Amino acid sequence: MSSPPASAPGASPSPAPESPVDTIAIANDPARSEADWYQHVYQGDTMPQLTLRAVLMGAVLGMLMSAANLYTTLKIGWSFGVAITSCVLSYVIWNALRLLSGGRLSEMSLLENNCMQSTASAAGFSTGATIATAFGALLLLEGHHQPVWIVALFTLFSGALGVFLAVPMKRQMINQEKLPFPSGLAAATTLKSLYSKGAEALRKAYVLIGGLVAGLVVGIFNTAEGTLGILDKFFHKTRLHLPELVPAAGYATVNGRSLIGFGFEPSVLLIGAGMIVGLRVCLSMLAGSLLLYLWVGPALIAMDAAHLGETAYKISIPLIGGGTIYHLPRWALWGGTATMVFSSLAALALQWRTIARSFSLLRRGKNAAAPSELDQRMAAIEVPLSWLVAGLIPITIGLLAIQYVAFHISPWLGLIAVGMAFVLSLVASRATGETDTTPIGAMGKVMQLLFAIISPPAASSVHVSLEHNLMAAATGANSASSSADLLTDLKSGYLLGANPRKQFLAQFTGIFFGTLAVVPAWYLMVPTKEKLEAFNPPATNMWRAVAELLAGGGLDQLPPSARMAIVIGALVGVSLPLLGKLRPQAAPYLPSAMGLGLSWVMVYSNTQAFAIGAVISWLWTKVHARTADAYSVPLASGFIAGESLIKAVIAMAATAVGLWAARS
């Protein structure tokens, strides 16, 4: 490892760190000044960072992760940060390539790996959320895809907006306030350990790779028959196949009809997600789903049967599959969505101090003294304001143009959406920095509610109102999510002594690679409305439901039972965060409002798999806390990355084969 650069003039003398851990401690210590960081941690001018091989490696991994995250967003309603996964995979893959080359390839430096991580995160995380939620909701509502150029340009511009919005927040939140950004700290510590050849870090890397391989294998063997011909032949020859779903014995049917998704789903992706999410949320999900499937759903089905034939009666539980399957979440999503929306807004309101601190950034710089020599040195490596202006002007013009041409959103409404993206990014980044949780659900709902107020729906143009509501919300939500996630990577770079300008360029480059991968992946993975409905996508359904209520005719279109579910869900969503705030000692024992809401948006088999993962992690901690703390998250991350990646590849391959067969 290269020695640190010469100290900045005027910096107070301090002993050089003796180990990699010491440099992270210095960079993360609130009592330390920027002079200490520049003197003892910064090494962006003495070590390779923004190299072609680092960017290309990050681009390839990010493109794969973007497809994987698109699949997880469709399957379970959210995506996972790729920082730790990408840096470990890059380290392992590059060293494998070095071994195969007989040592002709040189070792990738610590900062090259961090640069790769930044490129991969921008590509893998910052481009797919808008597609799966807003464009997915439009597909459900309109029955057809938007043109490729609209999806590609909107994804590129909204993701790039998030990259640039992270710039003014970085020096305040990371350099000066030193917000923890726990995932960024974990990624930096992992990289430091890998490069110090620590045995523990290497074992974590092997565990993650093992989990990834297990996810790949399970993802292949639990693929439904009829999805891909070559897999069907393989299953028939080997007689090795995991069923998509094992029905719950004794409770699989009501009135001779099946309940969708009621049983066990052999999926390590869902189990891995449960290992990360934790026991409280996952048990809340399982309890809520059991309540729906064993009591509320059957009661409503009986009520529907009693009123069969009454023309004015609105059936609560819809049937699918030619009238053979009850689809409980299509009714329950109204109550579940209300619970999540109101709990998110209540939690956001209770974090008013965090929100207020977010805007301290806007006050920074008043009455500032003349810049010192250190300030000038820091300004030479930080992203300059001129870059911010040069990027935001064309990005804003591009977003205004695409919103106007594609979705009939007037320029002044588009400007409000872009302005709100900055406000929401402040709040989301602060929340991520302090708690490692990005309230992106609340961000999207705030935008949807705002645009329902400033652009009221007109009875003659409900379709236009729906587009306004969804795409304006997508502008703010995707940008806020992107900026918060990218600040997590900038935190890693700060702890490792990276050059912020080079890291920014890596992130900006990643947006293009991510868009290049995720847009065709969207059309291949979800070729039709029916294919999207088969996912029963929780987040997509929630966006659609809120948009319909705000822009499409209100509550009168719903059966009375669904209206009651909305009221009850709203009360539950507000009550649980308030109780947790008023009685902090009882908060760990209260059900999770988000878990309860998700339980009525997902099918039962998903919530059961989540709970299994959470219980495994909890038992592991009880039996051997040290290994659980060290290896449970890498193992779970491998499960998620492996299965989601192979599932995305299989779905895209199936569509490609179908298109080729139709043309031949």
Question: Which pLDDT score, from 0 to 100, does residue 523 have?
Answer: 93
pLDDT score of 437 more than 70: no
Domain limits, the chain: 244-350+535-641
Helix, strand, coil % (nearest 5) of the chain? 75, 0, 25
In sequence order, what are the beta bridge partners of 254?
257
- Quick one: pLDDT band at residue 333, thresholds 50, 70, 90? confident
Question: Which pLDDT score, from 0 to 100, does residue 614 have?
Answer: 92
This model's pTM is above 0.85:
no
What percent of the chain is modeled with pLDDT above 90? 13
Question: Which pLDDT score, from 0 to 100, does residue 251 have?
Answer: 60
pLDDT score of 70 more than 80: yes
pLDDT score of 183 more than 80: no
pLDDT score of 41 more than 70: yes
In this predicted model, which residue has the larger pLDDT, 33 or 407? 407
User: Tokens at residue 275, please?
Assistant: 């290992």
Largest CA distance in the chain: 86
pLDDT score of 3 more than 60: no
CA distance 310 to 306: 9
SS3 per residue for 107-162: CCCHHHHHHHHHHHHHHHHCCCHHHHHHHHHHHHHHCCCCCHHHHHHHHHHHHHHH
- Quick one: pLDDT band at residue 370, thresholds 50, 70, 90? low
> Which whole number is the average pLDDT over 606-635?
91
CA distance 443 to 475: 10
* Per-residue exposure over 295-334, b if at least 16 CB sit within 10 Å of its own CB, e if not: ebbbebbeebeeeeeeeeeebbbebeeeeebbbbbbbbbb
Question: Which pLDDT score, from 0 to 100, does residue 367 have?
Answer: 46
What percent of the chain is modeled with pLDDT above 70? 84
Question: Which pLDDT score, from 0 to 100, does residue 252 have?
Answer: 63
120 and 56 in contact (C-beta within 8 Å)? no
- Specify the DSSP class assigned to residue 554: G
648 and 128 in contact (C-beta within 8 Å)? no
Question: Which pLDDT score, from 0 to 100, does residue 287 have?
Answer: 95
Three-class SS of residue 522? helix
**Close Cβ partners of 622 (under 8 Å, ≥ 6 residues apart):** none
Listed range (9-23, 593-607, 639-653) with the worst mean pLDDT: 9-23
Question: Which pLDDT score, from 0 to 100, does residue 360 have?
Answer: 52
Containing 660, the helix (H) or strand (E) segment is helix 625-663
Question: Which pLDDT score, from 0 to 100, does residue 603 have?
Answer: 87
CA distance 141 to 550: 14
Question: Which pLDDT score, from 0 to 100, does residue 11 have?
Answer: 36
Question: Which pLDDT score, from 0 to 100, does residue 292 have?
Answer: 94
Question: Which pLDDT score, from 0 to 100, does residue 106 have?
Answer: 87
447 and 473 in contact (C-beta within 8 Å)? yes
pLDDT score of 386 more than 60: yes
Nearest CA to 418 out of 433, 403, 439 is that of: 403
310 and 560 in contact (C-beta within 8 Å)? no
- Specify the DSSP class assigned to residue 264: E
pLDDT score of 457 more than 70: no
Question: Which pLDDT score, from 0 to 100, does residue 412 have?
Answer: 84
**Close Cβ partners of 179 (under 8 Å, ≥ 6 residues apart):** 173, 430, 433, 434, 491
CA distance 386 to 390: 6
Q: Sign of dihedral through CA atoms 480, 486, 491, 497? A: negative
Q: Sign of dihedral through CA atoms 200, 205, 206, 208? A: positive
pLDDT score of 69 more than 60: yes
Mean pLDDT of the chain: 80
Neighbours of 377 (CB within 10 A): 20
> Which whole number is the average pLDDT over 625-632?
88
Which residue, chain included where needed, has tokens 């023309």?
311
426 and 348 in contact (C-beta within 8 Å)? no
CA distance 14 to 35: 10
Question: Which pLDDT score, from 0 to 100, does residue 365 have?
Answer: 46
Listed range (148-152, 232-236, 289-293, 548-552) with the worst mean pLDDT: 548-552
- Quick one: pLDDT band at residue 577, thresholds 50, 70, 90? confident
Question: Which pLDDT score, from 0 to 100, does residue 40 have?
Answer: 82
> Which whole number is the average pLDDT over 16-31?
59
Neighbours of 517 (CB within 10 A): 23
Per-residue model confidence as pLDDT tens digits over 71-98:
888 887 766 667 777 778 888 888 888 8
